Amino acid sequence: MSTAKKFAGQTAIYGVSTIAGRVLSFFLTPVYTAAYRTGAYGILTTMFSYVSILNAVMAFGMETTFFRYLNKHADNKRQVYNNAFASVFAITLIFLLLTLPFTGHIANFINVSTPIKAHSGNIAAVGTTHADFIKYVDYFIAILVIDAWCVIPFAQIRADGKPGRYAVIKLINIFLFISLNLIFIWGLPFWMNHNLPGSGFVAQWYVKGWVGYVFLANLISSIVTFIILLPELLKIRFDFNGKMLASMYSYSWPVLIANLSYIINENMDKLLLGKLLPTGHSLDDVGIYGACAKISLFLSIFIQAFRLGAEPFFFSHAKNKNAGQTYARIMDYFVIAICVIFVGLIANIEILKYFIPNKSYWVGLPVVPPLVFGYVSLGIYMNLSVWYKLSDQTKYGFYISGVGALLTIVLNVMFIPKYSYMASAWVSLIAYAVMMVLSYIWGQRNYPIPYNLKKNLVYIVSSIIVVYLSFYVFNRNIYVGDAMLLVYVSVAFYFERENLRAIFK
């Protein structure tokens, strides 16, 4: 049980930084929308959408590969570290060669901004010129490369069992990014408006309403993070093994494809909504769907925190005699935890909806239950995925995620025109549920783990029933919902009391 306690403790620490990062989007969204015109906020969305895809490409799945090869080459961990960083470094060099000579063309491709209208109706050109977009591209090329160089050092910290250092560095990055945003957006205008010392110097270069300050804040925080990671970076030696390097690339490219497929599953529905719905109300529906989907973010935070703690843990215990039983026990409590969160979110949706202060969005609340259960399925899939990572069969991750991405695209194209964002919510659930089932079936054939299938299904099915009653039958009544949540938790605690007592001891 000490193993389980260690795992839970590390996951909790990793979760602190993960939660802080996700809260960042809630905290800065009202700041951005108050400071920038709608078109400028569209620039933010566009640039960060590209970055979310390119980040996965730059990392090339090498984080997962690093943990796997540490386990395979336990007697040569330093060379694994060197090779993993060399792999990412080589990809960044190729990226720089393909981008730096063509920043102008990239800026033309990204710049979809026609004249941007201010809230008052006036035309505003701040931040929309070709020169501005070249600066944005330059910033993000630097951000992508620096962040990629930090991937393996962060993985090394996790492998060394230092969740505290990991969380501190991540939190410094987050709080620095927030602080710089507030300084650029609110602090400097306040400084100039009140003619404080140095305001004349600031006025010489500060451009009010320029969205590039958000990207500049991101770049500065990435540079500071890189500097803090120098102790890990300075341990890198030019001690490479060509055969190991080739093997690591072979292992990691299916992981890369799986990660890209996940990004498609997360984002393609929003893109297709804008393309497939009539122009008159497509943006309204995308906004409603996107805003209500953020409520499901609470569950994805838990899943991300779990993944950060689980991945190095699973690999480090792969050679233990009772590894399969350990993985099965972790799955048991993961399912219970994720189902409790599922029930709790839906039971309290009448409170959580106030995260979206504009009541016109609340018409989209029916998308929340299928979206949240989609994340339940995704979390279980991520837990199940240990089998193909430990058995060096990452091609199955490619197959499974590919199926999910294909379902996301095809079903959205089929049903969005008729059912709008409700189709997207249910398609998301279907895609992740299919991925979960495929991973379990193929996993039991290729790398059997003694999961307690009946027990887990009881918790999953019972949570669905409670959510259905709470949301649809009792019409989101918070008192009934929380009463049912209390009963659900009490029953789970009763049946798990002996195991929980052993863990707490």
pLDDT of residue 202: 83
pLDDT of residue 138: 94
pLDDT of residue 116: 39
pLDDT of residue 115: 39
Residue 396 resides in a domain: yes
Contact 225, 165 (CB under 8 A): no
Count the domains in the chain.
1
Task: Give the range among 34-43, 133-142, 312-321, 448-457 with minimum mean pLDDT.
Answer: 34-43
| CA nearest neighbour of 41 among 120, 116, 135 | 116
pLDDT of residue 15: 58
Mean per-residue pLDDT, 436-458? 91
pLDDT of residue 2: 56
Tokens of 28: 């800065």
Mean per-residue pLDDT, 441-465? 91
Mean pLDDT, the chain, as a whole number? 82
Q: Is 260's pLDDT higher than 60?
A: yes
SS3 assignment, position 240: coil
Matching residue, tokens 């931040």: 127
Q: Is 356's pLDDT higher than 80?
A: no
In tens, the pLDDT along 306-350 reads 776 666 677 766 677 777 888 888 888 889 999 999 999 999 999
Residue 410 resides in a domain: yes
In tens, the pLDDT along 357-385 reads 667 778 888 999 999 999 999 989 988 88
Residue 308 resides in a domain: yes
pLDDT of residue 284: 64
Q: How many CB atoms lie within 10 A of CB 486?
A: 12
Q: Which domain holds residue 398?
A: 267-505
Indicate left, alpha or beta for 180 from its phi (over 0: left) and psi (-120 to 50: alpha).
alpha
Distance CA 174, CA 413 (A): 37
Q: Is 279's pLDDT higher than 60?
A: no
Residue 340 resides in a domain: yes
pLDDT of residue 485: 93
Contact 288, 363 (CB under 8 A): yes
Contact 181, 31 (CB under 8 A): yes
In tens, the pLDDT along 458-501 reads 999 999 999 999 999 999 999 999 999 999 999 988 888 877 67
pLDDT of residue 326: 81
Residue 382 resides in a domain: yes
Contact 158, 305 (CB under 8 A): no
Q: pLDDT grade, residue 44 (50/70/90)?
A: confident
In tens, the pLDDT along 202-226 reads 888 888 888 889 899 999 999 999 9
pLDDT of residue 117: 41
SS3 assignment, position 123: strand
In tens, the pLDDT along 386-425 reads 888 777 787 788 788 889 989 999 998 999 898 988 998 9
Full 3-state SS string of 154-193: HHHHHHCCCHHHHHHHHHHHHHHHHHHHHHHHHHHHHHHH
Contact 481, 348 (CB under 8 A): yes
Residue 283 resides in a domain: yes
* 268 or 346, higher pLDDT: 346
Q: pLDDT grade, residue 6 (50/70/90)?
A: low
Q: pLDDT grade, residue 121 (50/70/90)?
A: very low
Residue 256 resides in a domain: no
Q: pLDDT grade, residue 446 (50/70/90)?
A: confident
Q: Is 166's pLDDT higher than 80?
A: yes
Q: pLDDT grade, residue 25 (50/70/90)?
A: low
Q: Is 191's pLDDT higher than 50?
A: yes
* 179 or 8, higher pLDDT: 179
On the CB side of 433, how many CA atoms lie within 13 Å of its CA?
13
Contact 277, 420 (CB under 8 A): yes
Distance CA 32, CA 247 (A): 45
